[in-house]
Structures are given as C-alpha cells and as structure tokens.
Amino acid sequence: MKAAADAIIIIDDSGIIEQFNPAAERMFGFSQQEACGRNVSMLMPEPQRSQHDGYIASYLQTGEGKVIGSGREVTGLRKNGDSFPMALSVGEIRQPEGQRFVGIVRDLSEFRAAQQQVRHLEEQLLHADRLVILGELTAGIAHEINQPLTAIAAYADAGRTMIDRRVDTPREDMQSICERISEQSRRAAEVVQRLRKLVRSGTVSKTRQDIEKIINNVLLLFEYEIKNSKTDLHFKALCDLPPLYVDEVQIQQILVNLVKNSLDALSGAGVEDGAIAIQADLVDDEIVVSVSDNGPGVLTEDREKLFEAFFTTKPKGVGLGLSICKSIAAAHGGSLKFSAQEGGGSRFTLSLPLRSIG
Ligand code: ADP
C-alpha cells in the first residue's frame, strides 16, 4: 500500500478515515496524521461533501450503492482548495469488528489536460489542412471565377453596343443577354459559396459515434432521390462495429458526397439498374466504410486527379467534393481512396482509426 501509485484510503462505516497511503498524501495534500480520524467527505467538494454520510448510511441499510464494486469518475478536493477529476473505485471489507470501505483513487487531471491538448492540436491540424487546400485552390479560383466574370463583361459590352447602335433594340435580344449575365453570375456565386464553406473553420466536435447510425442517417437523406431514380441503395455492416471518435457532421458530409457522386455517375451514364452499396467493416484497428456503384467508373488517366481541387467531369461540377472529403478523412487520422471495381464501377473506401484521441 505504501508503494502504490494510486491513492488508497480506508474508511470505517461512518466515513472516518482509518488509513491514508503516501500516494493519497501526495494527491490530496493532507498528511496521514491530518487525514486519519477525519471524515472522508473532506476530500470532496460540495454537494457530495454534505451528501456522503447519507450515501454510506443508505448503502449499509439497503446494500445498494452507486460506486461500490464499480468505478466511476468523480471530483476530488485537494487541501489547497483545487478540485480535480479522479477515477474512484470502492471495495468493501466485511470483518467481524465492523464494515470498512477501501477507496482506490487515480488522479485524472494530467490525463484530461493531455486530452485537451490533443483536441486542440487536432483542431489546429484540421485548420492547417484547410489552409493547405486553400493554397492549392488559389490557382483554380482565379480560373473558375475569371471565366464567368469575363463572360459577364462580354455580355454587358455586347448589350451596350446593341443599344448604342439601335434605339429600338429587340426586347428578346436584351432579355437573352440579361439571362446569360445572371446565369454566369450565379455560377461565380456558387464557386464563392463553396469556398466559403471550406474556409469556415468551425470547431471540430469529435464525440463517440455509432458509424451505423451515421450511415443510416445518410440513407434517410437520400430516400426521396433514390425512390425517384429507381436506384438501389443498400447498407450492410459486415460485423459488430465499435463506436468511433469522430465529428459526426463531417463524416456524414463525406458519405453524402460519395453517394451523391455515385448517383451522378449512374444518371450521367444512363445506367438503368443502378446499384450503390455501402459496406462497413472492422479491419485491424480501423473502421472501413466503402461506397461502391455499378456506374461507368473513372478513366485510368483521371484516377490520379480525382482528389485534386477543381477536377470535375460534370458540366455543372465544381470539383471540390472529393478534395474536401479527403482532407476531412486525414484530419481524423484516416484516409479516402479510390479503386476500380471489377467489371466497371467505382469504389471509394473511407478508413477511420478506432484509436480514440481526445
Ligand atoms: P464534382 O462532383 O463537383 O465533380 P468531386 O470532387 O466530388 O466534384 O468529384 C470529382 C470527379 O470525380 C467527378 O466530376 C467525377 O468525374 C469523378 N467521380 C467522383 N465519384 C465518381 C463515381 N462514383 N463514379 C465515377 N466518377 C466519379
């Protein structure tokens, strides 16, 4: 008991401290002499302090207690008035001369501080990641926005010339010019809006999540579209999946993007019996979610450009989806990869480590 790293405190059935090991002295700041003979409630802040005698009495009466036999996280109070998170497990010793309780306490403050630090670093990392993508985007942005702007200027010039030359410029000609101008400005606005979404740093809020629940939510989002497109969308969990520590919204965003891309690929190629399969599995210490479709797949020469910002083969595509998805996966310590399916079709595989950080 003397050499133990955990604090070990033995109390009698009225809560009076009988033994207080050296680790307890270090943790709480009281010496053994100061602690022994006093009520253990002095080691806890209010409201537990006032309630503790009651807890023991009710346990002795009913045999039911919240901490006995099972560990839990509670708050401890040091001699200097600082409170700190601690893991407490309590065991019972029944002896003829009376009942005693042994409390084993581990100080969690350093652990919690480290967790906070990791979380902070992760947020910075995610932000840095976004900045890297932004750097990559700059060249693309110039091109993407310049194009509609040049077109707008050209249409406006054409309109002015027409008015200058003829007083009675046909109404339809002006209408058509105005329509083109508004179409081009909408295109520019769309690019800007997507970029805004990307830059908005937001705080990542990673919590324990059930990946099956996230996937089922994604399916719900597509319910209507799937019904109308007669595509088959299926999800299968290949084994029992443990919880993950992720930002729910961001992971959902990846999956929505992948399913949307598959739907686009199927409808773009006019596939009649379109099928999209989502599978989730546990491989080593990673949860692996794949989204596969029986669409046209990706041309060999395009495969390495897939995750580049602004790579798109769609007439109205922006080409940011996959690059954002990849950076979200990376910020979670995972990856997003493409593979071609046998017999055509695409498969995107998202791997997320189980290792819970923060
Ligand atoms: P966008 O959807 O705006 O084009 P993305 O980054 O999401 O941007 O996708 C980039 C390109 O990757 C698409 O234009 C398409 O050519 C290709 N792609 C993505 N998913 C699929 C898929 N499931 N099947 C075939 N091609 C795909």
**pLDDT tens-digit readout, 138-148:** 656 666 677 78
Residue 358: predicted pLDDT: 40
Is 140 a pocket residue for ligand 1 (Cβ < 6 Å)?
A: no
- The token duo for 147 is 């194009």
- Considering only CA atoms, which of 331, 244, 252 is closest in space to residue 287? 244
How far, in Å, from the CA of 310 to the mean position of ligand 1? 10
**pLDDT tens-digit readout, 43-85:** 999 888 888 877 788 777 777 766 666 678 889 999 999 999 9
Is 293 a pocket residue for ligand 1 (Cβ < 6 Å)?
A: yes
For the residues 24-30, what does the mean pLDDT come to? 93
The 10 Å Cβ neighbour count of residue 123 is 18
Alpha helices in the chain (DSSP H): 22-28, 32-35, 48-62, 109-165, 171-199, 211-229, 248-268, 321-331
Euclidean distance between the first and the last CA atom of the chain, given in angstroms as a whole number: 32
Q: Is 110 exposed, middle or buried (0-12, 13-18, 19+ CB in 10 A)?
A: exposed
- The token duo for 1 is 């008991």
The pTM of this model reads: 0.53
How far, in Å, from the CA of 213 to the mean position of ligand 1? 25
Residue 201: predicted pLDDT: 46
For residue 57, report the phi and psi dihedrals to the nearest 5 degrees. -60, -45
Count CA atoms within 13 Å of residue 197 on its CB side: 11
**pLDDT tens-digit readout, 255-303:** 988 998 999 999 999 998 999 999 999 999 999 999 999 999 999 999 9
Residue 129: predicted pLDDT: 59
**pLDDT tens-digit readout, 197-250:** 655 545 556 788 999 999 998 888 787 778 778 899 999 999 999 999 888 878
**pLDDT tens-digit readout, 32-50:** 999 999 999 999 998 888 8
pLDDT at 325 over 60: yes
Residue 57: predicted pLDDT: 80
- DSSP label at residue 341: P
Among 193, 257, 305, 322, the mutation site with the greatest number of ligand 1 atoms within 8 A of its Cβ is 322
Per-residue pLDDT band for 133 (boundaries 50, 70, 90) equals low
- DSSP label at residue 79: T
User: For the chain, what percent of residues have pLDDT higher than 70?
Assistant: 87
Is 319 a pocket residue for ligand 1 (Cβ < 6 Å)?
A: yes
Tell me how far apart the alpha carbons of residues 4 and 9 are, in angstroms, rounded to a whole number: 11
Q: Pick the atom of ligand 1 nearest to 316's CA.
A: 3
How far, in Å, from the CA of 271 to the mean position of ligand 1? 16
Per-residue pLDDT band for 162 (boundaries 50, 70, 90) equals confident
Is 317 a pocket residue for ligand 1 (Cβ < 6 Å)?
A: yes
Among 133, 254, 261, the mutation site with the greatest number of ligand 1 atoms within 8 A of its Cβ is 261
